[in-house]
Amino acid sequence: MESESFLGHLVEVAPYTGYVYPNETIIPWTVLIVVYPYLTGLVAGAFTVSSLYHVFGMERFKPVGQFALLTALAFMIFVPLPLLLHLGSPQRAFNTMITPHVTSAIAVFGFFASFYVILLVLEIWFMFRPYFVQQAQHSSGLAGRLWHLASLGSDDVSPKAMRYDEKCIFYLAVIGIPAAHGLHGYVGFVFGSLKSREWWSSDLMPVVFLFSAVISGVALLIVLYVLSCGLRRIAVDLKCLKGLAYVLWGFAMFTLVLEGLEFANVIYKGREGIEMIVEYVTGPLLVPFFILQFSIGAVIPLLVLTYMIWRGTTGRALIVGVTVSALLVLFSVWMMRWNVVIGGQEIAKTGKGLLTYQMVIFHREGLVTAVSLVVGPLFLLWGMVRLLPPWGHKSAPLAESGAP
């Protein structure tokens, strides 16, 4: 009954223009479905940075190598929540695991996400196993037993055992690269495969989602790393920060080109008979797409990063410039998710009419819930960092350890 009243509210406040069928007066995918791909993108991007250190041995990313893994796990734990809150009967979600329906892309997500969570937990366990052993040896009573339990009784920290752990970290990270990117590429695949929506039906959709995921995760790590250095009152590693800026700049440039190509393709198809597409682009989409997503969120940070790279900016100016650029990129990716999910539904399936989405504030699928789902992983990450400090614990990249 609660779901029905909410949909009824949308019918009352969602005016539409042009021609729409009666069954199109409701926008079923709300802001929670915007949060869902946004969180998965942050996970994929954070894991990408971790892989640059643990797989490719890029020493400049050592200060954030372990922190990136903890960030990926913290946000991954929250990824299913938007979907569960959106479902009318969330307890039935387990049916996808008990009675698998492998021909459904959405149903397969349960297996994909479970596999990725297990992979993240294993990699983090091998990475922090020496820390578990150290804490178990220096703690007594219940705390000591809990740390011993966390180490699974494996207290061997000899050089041979450490080399074995490093190899496991390497192989898990290698497997995690396609797993992390496939996790978010699948989201773009779900949208791109829906032929009934002109704004979504594009072969570029999975690729656009994937690259925007990378830049959002890198941007998140930049902001969190600079913030953590301020809270810990230590200097920011400028070499690491500049490396993150290079990664952000490169992927952001490529993402902007892909989004431009996809947009041009949609508009071209619109001129071939879907008249309302062009009207939507030049009307309701003008501010959220051209001004917020592209101009403020994409072009400005690219110009700032390009200028700093060209000038060789360093010191406090580099920290401020890169951090502000990262915040703008995070905003741009959020607007991209919004424009895809909500914008795609505001165009009627006939292509002859437009609807308007009105977001409620206090509701299971409202603004407060959406903000809570985005902020919640940050509190979880804070707790994980307090329990498993990623700053002082040593974990050499495999390029140093001699792993293949």
Q: What does the mean pLDDT of the chain come to?
A: 82
Paired with 353 in beta bridges are: 18
Entry pTM: 0.86
pLDDT computed for residue 243 by the predictor:
92
Confidence of residue 124 (pLDDT cuts 50, 70, 90): very high
SS (H, E, C) 214-228: HHHHHHHHHHHHHHH
pLDDT band, very low/low/confident/very high, at 12 (cuts 50, 70, 90): very low
24-38, 271-285, 303-317, 376-390: least confidently modelled range: 271-285
d(CA 71, CA 378): 8
Q: Tokens 């959220």 belong to which residue?
A: 288
Residue 218: the pLDDT is: 93
CATH of the domain at 291: 1.20.1630.10
Structurally, how many domains does the chain consist of? 1
Is residue 9's pLDDT more than 80? no
Q: Is residue 404 part of a domain?
A: no
Residue 102: predicted pLDDT = 74
Residue-wise pLDDT for 252-278, tens only, equals 998 888 888 887 777 776 655 556 666
Greater pLDDT, 300 or 259:
300
What pLDDT is recorded for position 205? 84
pLDDT band at 348 (very low <50, low <70, confident <90, very high): confident
Max Cα–Cα distance, the chain, nearest Å: 74
Q: List the one residue out of 141, 214, 147, 154 whose CA is nearest residue 180.
A: 214
Cα separation, 334 vs 227, in Å, equals: 21
Residue 403 lies in a domain: no
% pLDDT > 70, the chain: 88
pLDDT at 271 (0 to 100): 56
24-83 residue pLDDT tens: 777 888 889 999 999 988 998 898 888 888 888 888 898 998 999 999 999 999 998 998
Copy the structure tokens of residue 170.
């390497």
Q: Per-residue confidence at 140, pLDDT binned at 50, 70, 90?
A: confident
Q: What is the pLDDT of residue 225?
A: 94
Indicate the range of 5-9, 249-253, 273-277 predicted with least confidence. Answer: 5-9
Q: Best-predicted range by mean pLDDT among 36-45, 203-212, 351-360? A: 36-45
Whether 303 maps to a domain, the answer reads yes
The pLDDT assigned to 153 comes to: 80
Range name among 55-69, 90-104, 156-170, 173-187 with the lowest pLDDT average: 90-104
**Is 222 a member of any domain?**
yes
pLDDT value of residue 404: 37
- Please check whether residue 402 lies inside any domain of the structure: no
pLDDT, position 399: 39
Residue 325 lies in a domain: yes
- Range of 93-107, 193-207, 332-346, 386-400 with top mean pLDDT: 332-346
Per-residue pLDDT, averaged over 336-348, amounts to 84
Q: Domain containing 121: what range?
A: 2-396
Whether 342 has a pLDDT exceeding 60, the answer reads: yes
Is 166 inside any structural domain? yes
Q: Is 315 part of a structural domain of the chain?
A: yes
